[in-house]
Chains A and B, each alone.
Chain A
């Protein structure tokens, strides 16, 4: 049994090694620290596997260990060769890695690190001990993975089978593809071994968040405190254990936004590239990811437009490059989806008559009821939403005057979009809210905590 777990972990880590080489090639100025590269390598590794499998599907190649591993190994060798060639021309490594282990650790730091460890430990234990058992895990993500493995490819007939409506053929396939990749290399289906994906994603999310905060010049104790705040949100931790795609999209979108925010503050184009890649991978994970791509794009356009000047004439070129990068990530999925002719239920059923009616307006009451039920639910969210509301009300002017407005804009756009879905849903709105709203909130939790950290940094600098 332990061997199965170990193999599952090694199979998942293998593409991270390739992704590490890819990151080394991207990071030609050697800006990134190990603590930044680790989560990025994991997240890019999953994205590369899904991307490769979609390309194989479009080329009509079967999913087999040989077909899966050959391009990965080839790319690894290529990236290593580029890196080694470049390394010869580089001087001694600059001080990008702080000797963080040698620094003095205060009692507060140790307490915070213990708290983070406890939460991650809980996530790993729950995820690995329980089988695939939650509703969407067995009716959608896990079932698709099983179907892909048994068909040696993406089975179109199964995805469009009307008896399996819960499979949602139009949903992006990153998670089922990665799960089936583990099955292919394992040689059989083991839905315990694939569950490493979820707590590892939470770990990547927290690590990337902490590393991003340190880059924003927050000291270690404050960085750990905000990382602890993020990882101690019960619903976020729970979503890293139930084999749903929400923790993955929250991590991709969150990390994509962190690097975009860092680019806005520090203007290092490496961060913009990382943001575009991560944002594209959010689009490969869930349908909502397409909207999240748009959210990051709008934030980027606003930032570029705000600072367009004689000194920075190339802003719009960067926007085009950003679109180009995330479109390249999304392209195999978009082409495959077009070939499948799958329709999105909500868009397909949408009509002007459905939206413009009194009943739609009256839904506001139900929506607000469920919003407050989540916002005051301390057991699921601790003080997250109340603190966010307080911060928004007390610092509204400050938010608009500082870079925090970008965080506010991204959060507000995401929440508005999700809210609009409840206005147009053809399902019973109360049922729909009850079964999905808490999961959707998970997607932008990292952004909200980044907002806290940014406001704290602002007040610390004034102090």
Chain B
């Protein structure tokens, strides 16, 4: 007796056609809705590496990180203020600032868009603008 086959080659073909239809839909649709990531990424093609990083990270954060890297001595310890811990901007900043190290006992506080921020035993050492600046730890009297 021939075993009953529950899925035939023909059915495989129909599922495959359906697959191609869905694939085509999700490929083509973004081009019509103007949300194609592919075309958005292609806009990065003529840019330099730095300009691409600026476009992806956002202009403000990129400028802030570039400023911090120019001011911090290699291997110094810092804490970020104004960026939510474990947010994507925080993660990108920590990556970009390495080999400077994130620390619970920082030598520098890197303040991002917090114009009113102050901390005991820290004094402003460099400014990017009114909102973003670097505070350096002051020697503490015993």
Residues of A within 8 A of B (CB): 1, 4, 115, 118, 122, 125-126, 129-133, 135, 138-139, 142-143, 146-147, 150, 161, 163-164, 166, 190, 192, 225, 229, 232, 234, 378-379, 382-383, 387, 391, 394-395, 398, 455-456, 459-460, 462-463
Which residues of A are found within 8 Å of B88, using beta-carbon distances? 135
A130-B44, A133-B56, A382-B22 as given contacts; A463 in contact with B94, CB under 8 Å: no
B128 at the interface (CB under 8 A from A): no
* In the bound complex, CA of A122 to CA of B49 (Å): 19
Query: Which of the residues A138, A234, A455 comes within 8 Å of B95, measured between beta carbons?
Result: A138
B94 x A139 contact (CB < 8 A): yes
Please indicate the chain B residues that have their CB under 8 angstroms from the CB of A166 in the complex: 86, 91
Mark interface residues in B1-43 (1 if CB within 8 Å of A CB, else 0): 0010111110010011011101100110000000001100110
Q: Which residue of A lies closest to B16 (CB)?
A: A225
Report if B92 contacts A (CB, 8 A). yes
Q: Which residues of B contact A122 (CB under 8 A)?
A: 38
Taking residues whose C-beta sits less than 8 angstroms from the other chain, chain B's interface range is 35 or more
Chain B residues with CB below 8 A from A1, complex form: 48-49
B117 at the interface (CB under 8 A from A): no
Across the interface, which residues of A come within 8 angstroms of B45, CB to CB? 129
A146 and B97 alpha carbons, distance in the complex (Å)? 11
- Chain A residue numbers with a CB within 8 Å of B12 are 455-456, 459
Stretch at the interface among B98-106, B108-116, B133-141: B98-106
Smallest CB gap from B96: residue in A: A138
User: Is there contact, CB below 8 Å, between B91 and A135?
Assistant: yes
Query: CB < 8 Å: which of A232, A234, A462 contacts B5?
Result: A462
**Residue among A135, A232, A234, A395 making CB contact with B7, cutoff 8 Å:** A395
Q: Are B5 and A459 in contact (CB under 8 A)?
A: yes
Are A379 and B92 interface neighbours, CB within 8 A? Answer: no
In the docked arrangement, what's the CA distance between A462 and B2, Å? 10
- Inside 8 A of A147's CB, which chain B residues have their CB? 98-99
- B89 → chain A closest CB, angstroms: 10
| Alpha-carbon separation in the docked complex, A195 to B43 (Å) | 18
- With contacts A125-B42, A133-B92, A190-B49 known, is A164 near B9, CB below 8 A? no
Instruction: Give the residue of B7, B37, B42, B92 whose beta carbon is less than 8 angstroms from that of A459.
Output: B7
Given A130-B52, A225-B16, does the pair A456, B9 have CB atoms closer than 8 Å? yes
**A138 and B48 within 8 A (CB):** no
Q: Are A161 and B91 in contact (CB under 8 A)?
A: no
CA distance A229 to B56 in the complex (A): 31
Identify B41's interface contact among A130, A138, A190, CB under 8 A: A130
Indicate whether B122 reaches chain A with its CB closer than 8 angstroms.
no
Number of A-B contacts (CB under 8 A): 102
CB within 8 Å for A131 and B38 given contacts A164-B102, A456-B9: no
Q: Which of B3, B41, B57 makes the CB contact (< 8 A) with A129?
A: B41
In angstroms, how far is the closest chain B Cβ from the Cβ of A74? 32
Shortest distance in angstroms between B13's beta carbon and chain A's nearest beta carbon? 9
Contact A143 B98 (CB under 8 A): yes
A382 pairs with B44, CB closer than 8 A: no
Identity of the chain B residue whose Cβ is nearest the Cβ of A118 in the assembled complex = B27
A382 to B20 Cα, complex, angstroms: 9
A-B contact pairs, 18 of them (CB 8 A): A125-B41, A125-B42, A129-B52, A131-B49, A139-B91, A146-B98, A146-B99, A147-B99, A164-B94, A229-B16, A232-B19, A378-B26, A382-B19, A382-B26, A456-B9, A456-B12, A462-B5, A463-B8
> What is the CB-to-nearest-CB distance from B43 to chain A, in angstroms, rounded to a whole number?
9
Q: Judge whether B118 is part of the interface by a CB distance below 8 angstroms.
A: no
Q: A166 to B86, alpha carbons, bound, how many Å?
A: 9
A225 contact set on B, CB distance < 8 A? 16
Known: A125-B41, A129-B52. A229 touches B95 (CB 8 A): no
* A379 contact from B26, B57, B98, B101, Cβ within 8 A: B26
Tell me the bound Cα distance from A459 to B14 in angstroms. 14
A192 touches B5 (CB 8 A): no
Bound complex: CA A146 to CA B94 (Å): 12
* Chain A residues with CB under 8 A of B92: 133, 138
A139–B9 Cα distance when bound, in Å, is: 47
* Closest chain B CB from A261 CB (angstroms): 19
A75 to chain B, nearest CB (A): 32
Residue B53, interface by CB 8 Å:
yes
Taking CB atoms, residues of chain A closer than 8 Å to B53 are 131
A391 adjacent to B56 (CB under 8 Å): no
Q: Which residues of A contact B42 (CB under 8 A)?
A: 125, 129
Chain A residues whose CB sits within 8 angstroms of the CB of B98 once the complex forms = 143, 146-147, 150
Give 1 or 0 for each of B67-93: 1 = CB within 8 Å of chain A CB: 000000000000000000010100110
The answer on a CB contact under 8 Å between B95 and A132 is yes
B22 touches A133 (CB 8 A): no
